[in-house]
Each structure stands twice: as structure tokens, then as C-alpha cells.
A = this chain, B = another copy of it.
Amino acid sequence: MRIGILGTGAVGQTFGTRLHNLDHDVTLGARESGNPRAVEWAEAHAAECGTFAEAVVGADLVINATAGQYAVDALEMAGGNAALAGKVVLDVSNPLDYSTGELRLSVCNTDSVGEQLQRTFPDARIVKSLNTVNGSVMVEPSLVPGQHTIFVAGNDPEAKRVVVGLLGEFGWPAANVLDLGDIKASRGMEMYLPLWVSILRAVDGNLAFNINVVQG
């Protein structure tokens, strides 16, 4: 697939490298052309980089790996609803805001980044997934042993199937993917983050953890 990644931080680069190694045709998109991190990554992997807009043009799949509080801006810069129309947009972001010195979410309770994106870009097919694990686990679930669960949410069943296919390439068995319904379920997936941070502290900073949904 041709995949455009928005965001050149740790998560964006992790996706870029993993997808490149899976033989996808990746463009790492940055806010500005010539972003040094993007250029360095592209040279190291003989892959492409460019602006957000360049990453989206011709992409079969777009991955939003920007920080959640800037995600709407990033997709606007990428060309907005017209450029994204019909495209599957996998949103892995979290609205983490440390500006007050402690963790809070920049949006929660009555809204979420996933919903903001779907509302602002109504013709994009937003799928929320992977935001409940660390970037390394997102693309390499075998870092966590045994059974553990990954969630998907979105309004478009076909777009969710595309994402579940990609999750399978990363190593997430379909049986471990739990479909939470429409994009409104992003709310719970994002509001889980403060618990995730508390668990991370309780497991002494071991980022290779996840939760497994068990039922009787």
C-alpha cells in the first residue's frame, strides 16, 4: 500500500520503519518541507518524506501520528476534507497535555480526537486504534507475551477492515482485535490514557505492557 504518515516524532518514525520493512511505500509527512528528522529517516531507509499534504496525495492509507491536541490542525494542513475524502485515516493519537506540569487530556468526557477528526473531515474514513499501547507495541505486539487486546472504532466498516488487515501485518491476531463500534468509542479509548500512565508507573516503567479483555 501507499501509506502517508503524519508526524515525524517517535511514533511516526516507528510506523514508518515498520511499514517500510513490511514493503509498503511510505511517505513520512512533516509540518514543513525539509524537516531534518524526516529527511534523516527517509535517507536512512531509502524512503520518502515531505509535507503533510505530500504524504496524503496518492496515499491508500493515512496514519495520524501527530500529538492529539494538534491533530485537527495537522489534517487541515494535509489538505483537509477534500484531500482526505474517501481515504482511510488511522488515528493513533492521544490528547496528552502536560502544559500544567501534570497529565491531563486536552479533550475528553464529551468529545475526543477521533470524533473531532470525523466531524471536521466528514468525508475521511477515520478509524481509531492502537492509541492504548506504546508505539513499540503498536507495530510489534509480540513484545507483550500471550493474549492481549487491541481496540478499533470507526463509522466505516470497510475502513475498519483495512485497519484490521494492517494490524494483522503488525502481528495482532484478528481474535485479539475488539471492535468497539462507531467513532464515539474513541472517547473511552482516549480516556484510558491516565490509567495507562498509572499502570506504567506500577510496572516500573516497562513500556511493553497491554491489557487483555477476559470474559466469563
Question: Which A residues have a C-beta under 8 Å from some C-beta of B?
Answer: 104-105, 108-110, 143-149, 151, 153, 178-181, 185, 187-189, 191-199, 201-203, 206, 208-216
List the B residue with the shortest CB-CB distance to A209.
B215
Complex CA gap A95/B79 in Å reads 40
Known: A199-B180, A203-B213, A216-B144. A191 touches B194 (CB 8 A): yes
Pairwise interchain contact A216-B145, C-beta atoms closer than 8 A: yes
Provide the residues of chain B in CB contact with A216, threshold 8 Å.
Answer: 143-145, 206, 208-209
Q: Which among A196, A201, A212, A215 has the highest number of chain B CB atoms within 10 Å?
A: A215
Alpha-carbon distance A105/B110, docked complex (angstroms)? 9
Query: Looking across the interface, which residue of chain B has its beta carbon closest to that of A112?
Result: B194
Asked if B144 contacts A214 (CB within 8 A), the reply is: yes
